[in-house]
Homo-oligomer: A and B are copies of this chain.
């Protein structure tokens, strides 16, 4: 890489580096996911840049999550960056992220002087920004890496997708805004519930040491952000490090820290009925689309309720709006066992659940019009979804 011309030859530089624009853009995009413009701590509106002897680290944080993205000086034999003077600076994150995306040249030169004035030079463009004091930036939690397990990235993303949608969105019981993870032997079991519905999935993970049963509750919002920064290199492994109040996910050059939720997560196993009076197998997509159409009318009413009537190998989905009219639709079942049934439920909850299923068919267990409905993808016994019905009959 070319050496950039020194703009302030007389001022002592506290940081000087050259980096490929593309690498910087990727790293900024990742750490921006942790930065909120609504933070009450001014320094956290910034992105921290640390230039070290092995590479450049960007950090973004809010009170819940912190993300660190590392750009190694070299990678796969290609030069990503040159650090002329190691150092650190905090820059206004929104401006910096927009700016790096729009820089004209494929290389970016950054120089910081002792007054925190930061020059960003690329091609014929030169910005001179007022930096923030990196000494004010809070330290990330120090995590003792004794308790680690590994999971494939695609499996972690599925696990998040299939549970996080069911967390509570209200703060009435804060612990329900998180997903409970229970690690026992090589089994990770994840549960989320907002007390009207529940989602549960278990997977096998790589774990070397046996540390007994561990339970932790991860904020749903953290898991959503984590999912967004996990790239599509699905076969990579993610290392997960647990402590009493923090969890750290390490994937390639990214580290994602989240605080954990305090409080006792309720025992959800007693919510799940063990019997079934009516069991129906249905095509996942056909059922989803029938409910989606019925919801067009249902959503005009207050409670967004659709009705399901099962009898003689047929399922009828219907809904009604006093003002607009009625909808009904019949679906052929793949299998039908047990009693005829009439039940009502939230169209949104059923669509949320069905949209997380990859399997072609689902098996639905009913115990009665006021008992929980259990939905399971056929062929994947590790997933269980539950929704409570709504009384309308």
* Chain B proximity of A286: nearest CB distance (Å): 8
| CB-based contact B124/A330 at 8 Å | yes
Residues of chain B with a CB closer than 8 A to A125's CB: 290, 293, 327, 329
Q: How many copies does the complex hold?
A: 2
Tell me if A297 is interfacial: C-beta within 8 Å of chain B: yes
A338 within 8 A of B: no
A319 CB, nearest partner CB in chain B, Å: 10
> A92 — which chain B residues lie within 8 A by C-beta?
324
**Residue in A99, A125, A290, A292 whose Cβ sees the most chain B Cβ within 10 Å:** A125
Q: Which B residues touch A329, using CB under 8 A?
A: 124-126
* CA of A292 to CA of B101, assembled, Å: 11
Q: How many residues belonging to A are interface residues under a CB distance threshold of 8 Å?
A: 32
Q: Which residues of B contact A127 (CB under 8 A)?
A: 293, 297, 325-327
Q: Which of A108-158 contact B (CB under 8 A)?
A: 117-118, 124-130
Q: Report the bound CA distance from A365 to B125 in whole Å.
A: 24
A181 interfacial contact with B, CB 8 Å: no
**Known interface pairs A95-B296, A296-B95, A297-B95; A327-B128 also in contact (CB < 8 Å):** yes
Q: Which residues of B contact A103 (CB under 8 A)?
A: 293
Question: Least Cβ distance of A324 to chain B in Å?
Answer: 6
- In the bound complex, residues from chain B placing their C-beta under 8 Å from that of A95 are 296-297, 300, 324
A289 CB within 8 Å of chain B:
yes
Decide if A102 touches B327 in the complex (CB within 8 Å).
no
Interchain CA distance A328-B326 in the complex, whole Å: 63
A327: which B residues are within 8 A, CB to CB? Answer: 125-128
B104 and A324 within 8 A (CB) = no
Q: Does B331 lie within 8 Å of A104, measured CB to CB?
A: no
Q: How far is the CA of A108 from the CA of B344 in the complex (A)?
A: 28
Asked if A262 is at the interface of the complex by the 8 Å CB criterion, the answer is no
Q: Is A98 engaged at the interface, CB distance under 8 Å to the other chain?
A: yes
Q: Give bound CA distance, A323 to B118, whole Å.
A: 13
Quick one: closest B residue to A99, CB to CB? B296
CB-defined contacts of A292 to chain B, threshold 8 Å: 102
24 A/B residue pairs, CB under 8 Å, sorted by A: A92-B324, A95-B296, A95-B297, A95-B300, A98-B296, A99-B296, A102-B293, A102-B296, A104-B289, A117-B325, A118-B325, A124-B330, A124-B331, A125-B290, A125-B293, A125-B327, A126-B329, A127-B297, A127-B325, A127-B327, A128-B325, A128-B326, A128-B327, A129-B324
Residues of A within 8 A of B (CB): 92, 95, 98-99, 102-104, 117-118, 124-130, 289-290, 292-293, 296-297, 300, 323-331
